[in-house]
């Protein structure tokens, strides 16, 4: 059989000089910022897609089989747990044979078999578009209007429309170029939204009067510091509009009363470098208060309250203290209670604090490895807290936890046809890092999978932005586990699984720690008999794609195959270009190589693109999105071109570029299943027993 030949990108050297160092980038020409793109660039990406089709052809039967397996785990019709909001229960309905969801509502307390009415049908919105993503979906306080935003190309720049729910028709209001987040005024006469700048940084909050043209909208607040992202939302009480502004290390917020939408914004507390806080509103007969989550004098964060009118630190009253072994990640305010989402020992916990007497309790969890999160809880006066629970073997459930007597009711259990959780086992193991730190690993496999080094395995990682990769359930994963795979998550430093210091130990000038932690986890899986290097795969996305690129240079013999999706791999060049989306704001995550020679040298030491050398590499599946504004399409394209020119092995290397999508990949459910199945089929093929 004739083996397909990969495309060869022309080498056109571009010399780059900074801080006394000269680099040559042979593939800088692929970085085309024009619209439309240069025909030669598009032709190269299309050629790579054709090559991927041909190279992956032997895996097509497995891919199609996995798609059928995924479809078999999806109920024909499925409703989310209803969220009570005023006189209505709002819920989402999905269909196995439709790419998008329907948003519905029915009268509060109506039986579950009441279909209610359609609020918004994404399938109708998607007609005529290859891509659709819903950014915001907010019902007005009187429940008569729906504000929603749509992105039809994956660029994450949205268009705002407003639907009259009494007639089912859209108003003439049409506001282009929004970012995420909208907020209603109390009388539903105004809507607040954020607008991005040229680098897709949300930097302005605007006010739109319902029934007027977008040209009449009023600028309310602007954030000029390029390190900060601005957002907008209403408090759960509905009494205030809050406009938080946050960098990676500092935050503050402004606010206006929701009942006085044309008021000037007022600061909640002054901006102090290195001090972070988040706020929600507590109604109190003795005087309304802010509930503030802050790291001021508390590395793991603490919770305080402050009067709405005067919320500086000198007026803070302690509510939940800082604990050395705990990171308070978020707070939610329900009438009379503050709910703390906490991280301890690599797992999330929910602590509920009664405000009037300070009494508290932690909701117990049944599994040793699990994920739990607080739900939407749109009703401020709700007597119960809605939370979501799942484990690596247990499909998600939605639980209402009563705040008075702590009794619980399971509101909804996810139905997964054909899935039997008793066939699987999950556990927690620990790797030892280069510096002696213990790194948690979450593991799942079938109970009958032999743990003798012969099983194929996939190790997933991320390790950035203090984001936690939770040990949750996936409808895709049984297609690996039932083929004898072990699946594991490396909870490496740079993430937030073990608290704020865990993040700090894997960021900035300690970033390489994330990569060595991941390799330590891989070696532990092999040493403890879960797999072996010739049957071990690795997978990561975005910043996790940087991780994949780094470990492919650091320890290429430890992995047989790697999947790197929308990978951030051209780190030095991207972080040296402040005109690109996110760059300036992310200097506080990665460092500033443009102005700081130490950051430049350190980043250059691990940047995957800059460290490609002639050597054998694992087999690789690499994915990008043409309209991606977070990791520009040319990062994976340049990386693959350089790998092709330097690698000394003949293992598979494919680049798949979504030509009509962005960072999140294709938008429809079926397209998402097909994309996932292609990656899984690649891994199954590469990690099969080759003895």
The catalytic residue positions are 542, 628, 663
Give CA separation, 21 vs 58, 412, 569, 591, in Å.
44, 59, 19, 17
- How many CA within 13 A on the CB side of residue 663? 17
DSSP state of 387: E
**CA 417/CA 70 separation, integer angstroms:** 10
Please, what sign has the CA dihedral across residues 638, 639, 644, 646?
positive
Residue with tokens 């329907």: 102
Tokens of 117: 């009415």
Q: Would you say 305 and 280 are in contact if contact means Cβ atoms under 8 Å apart? A: no
Residue with tokens 């809605």: 386
φ and ψ at residue 46, rounded to 5 degrees? -65, -40
Q: Is the peptide bond before 36 cis (omega within 30 degrees of 0)?
A: yes
Residues ≥6 apart with Cβ < 8 Å to 596: none
Give CA separation, 88 vs 1, 348, 477, in Å.
62, 31, 35
**CA 566/CA 115 separation, integer angstroms:** 39
**CA 138/CA 147 separation, integer angstroms:** 5
Residues ≥6 apart with Cβ < 8 Å to 682: 56, 59, 561, 563, 619, 621, 652, 654
Q: For residue 453, how far is the Cα from the chain centroid?
A: 33
Q: Would you say 489 and 456 are in contact if contact means Cβ atoms under 8 Å apart? A: no
Give CA separation, 268 vs 34, 67, 256, 303, in Å.
41, 50, 10, 15
Q: What share of the chain is helix, strand, coil (3-state, %, to 5)?
A: 20, 35, 45
């Amino acid at each position: 059989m004739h083996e397909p030949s990969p495309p060869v990108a022309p080498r056109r050297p571009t010399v780059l000089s900074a801080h006394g160092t000269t680099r040559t980038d042979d593939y800088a020409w692929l970085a085309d910022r024009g619209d439309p793109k240069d025909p030669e660039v598009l032709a190269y990406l299309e050629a790579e897609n054709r090559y991927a089709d041909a190279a992956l052809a032997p895996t097509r039967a497995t891919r199609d089989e996995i798609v059928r397996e995924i479809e078999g785990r999806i109920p024909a019709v499925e409703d989310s747990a209803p969220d009570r909001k005023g006189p209505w229960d709002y819920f989402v309905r999905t269909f196995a044979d439709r790419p998008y969801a329907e948003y519905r509502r029915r009268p509060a307390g109506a039986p579950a078999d009441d279909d209610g009415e359609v609020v918004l049908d994404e399938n109708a919105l998607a007609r005529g578009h290859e891509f659709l993503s819903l950014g915001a979906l907010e019902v007005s306080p009187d429940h008569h209007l729906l504000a929603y935003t749509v992105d039809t190309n994956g660029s994450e720049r949205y268009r705002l429309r407003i639907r009259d729910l009494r007639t089912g028709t859209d108003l003439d209001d049409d506001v282009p170029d929004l970012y995420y987040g909208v907020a209603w005024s109390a009388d539903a006469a105004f809507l607040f939204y954020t607008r991005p700048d040229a680098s897709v940084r949300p930097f302005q909050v605007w006010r739109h009067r319902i029934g007027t043209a977008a040209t009449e909208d009023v600028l309310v607040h602007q954030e000029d510091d390029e390190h900060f992202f601005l957002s907008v939302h209403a408090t759960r009480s509905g009494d205030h509009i809050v406009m938080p502004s946050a960098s990676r290390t500092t935050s503050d917020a402004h606010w206006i009363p929701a009942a006085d939408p044309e008021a000037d914004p007022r600061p909640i507390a002054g901006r102090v470098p290195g001090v972070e806080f988040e706020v929600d509103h507590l109604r109190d007969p003795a005087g309304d208060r802010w509930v503030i989550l802050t790291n001021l004098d508390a590395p793991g964060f603490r919770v305080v309250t402050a009067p709405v009118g005067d919320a500086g630190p000198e007026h803070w009253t302690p509510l939940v203290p800082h604990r050395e072994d705990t990171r308070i990640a978020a707070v939610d305010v329900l009438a009379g209670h503050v709910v703390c989402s906490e991280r301890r020992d690599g797992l999330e916990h929910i602590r509920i604090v009664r405000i009037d007497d300070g009494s508290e309790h932690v909701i117990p969890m049944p599994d040793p490895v699990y994920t739990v999160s607080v739900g939407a809880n749109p009703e401020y006066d709700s007597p119960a807290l809605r939370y979501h629970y799942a484990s690596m073997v247990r499909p998600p459930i939605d639980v209402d936890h009563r705040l008075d007597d702590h009794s619980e009711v399971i509101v909804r259990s996810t139905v997964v046809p054909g899935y039997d959780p008793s066939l699987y086992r999950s556990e927690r193991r620990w790797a030892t890092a280069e510096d002696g730190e213990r790194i948690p690993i979450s593991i799942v496999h079938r109970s009958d999978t032999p743990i003798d080094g012969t099983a194929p395995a996939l190790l997933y990682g991320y390790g950035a932005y203090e984001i936690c990769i939770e040990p949750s359930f996936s409808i895709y994963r049984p297609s690996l586990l039932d083929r004898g795979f072990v699946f594991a998550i490396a909870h490496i430093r740079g993430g937030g699984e073990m608290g704020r210091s865990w993040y700090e130990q894997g960021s900035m000038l300690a970033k390489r720690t994330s990569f060595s932690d991941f390799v330590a986890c891989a070696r532990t899986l092999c040493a403890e008999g879960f797999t072996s290097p010739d049957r071990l795969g690795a997978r990561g996305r975005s910043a996790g794609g940087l991780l994949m690129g780094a470990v492919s240079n650091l320890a290429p013999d430890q992995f047989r195959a790697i999947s790197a999706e929308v990978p951030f791999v051209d780190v030095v060049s991207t972080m040296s270009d402040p005109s690109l989306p996110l760059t300036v704001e992310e200097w506080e995550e990665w460092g500033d190589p443009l102005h700081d020679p130490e950051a430049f040298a350190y980043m250059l030491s691990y940047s995957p693109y800059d460290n490609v050398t002639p050597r054998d590499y694992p087999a690789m599946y690499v994915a990008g999105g043409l309209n991606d504004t977070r990791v520009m399409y040319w990062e994976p394209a340049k990386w693959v071109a350089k790998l092709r020119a330097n690698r000394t092995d003949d293992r598979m290397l494919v680049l798949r570029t979504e030509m009509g999508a962005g960072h999140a990949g294709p938008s429809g459910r079926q397209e998402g299943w097909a994309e996932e199945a292609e990656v899984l089929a690649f891994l199954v093929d590469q990690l099969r027993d080759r003895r």
